[in-house]
A = this chain, B = another copy of it.
Amino acid sequence: MRVMMDAKALNAFMRDEFPQVAAQFNVERVAPMEADVRLLVDEQHLRPGGTVSGPSMFALADLAMYVVTLAMIGPVALAVTTNCSIDFMRKPEAGRDLIGRARLHKLGKSLAVGDVLITNDGSDALLARASLTYSIPPRR
């Protein structure tokens, strides 16, 4: 399958459509059915002790899945998450960005299903793993 939007196009789309969100994230890499997204960790993502909060990791998983879906189907602002199951396995290190690696397992006409693996930047130890289902609106 062919990639419809590359990292640059995806970052531009995010800035236009979700400016509030886009400042926290950067699309790093896009390949067929795959995308890596960085969470630029700052104060708003932290819990006491300096670890990144669960909701911030959920937000990264959700965005990475959205990004990989857009990469394959093109800009559809209305795709929405219908389900996410997330396992939190290890505490993130303080003061390090997070990387969410999204992989699509199925890209159907109305549903996309994929996984996101979350690690600290530069580490292989899995912090969290999420499975997500996205509902894709009928094409115009």
Give me the interface of A with B, judged by CB distance under 8 Å: 17-18, 20-21, 43-44, 46-48, 53-56, 58-59, 62, 77, 80-90, 105-106, 110-111, 113, 115, 126, 129, 131, 133, 135
Contacts and interface: CB of A to CB of B under 8 A. Distances in A.
Nearest to A106: B89
A87 to B, nearest CB: 5
B87 A133 contact: yes
12 contacts: A20-B43, A20-B46, A54-B59, A54-B62, A55-B55, A55-B56, A82-B133, A85-B131, A87-B105, A89-B105, A111-B135, A129-B131
Contacts of A20: 43-44, 46
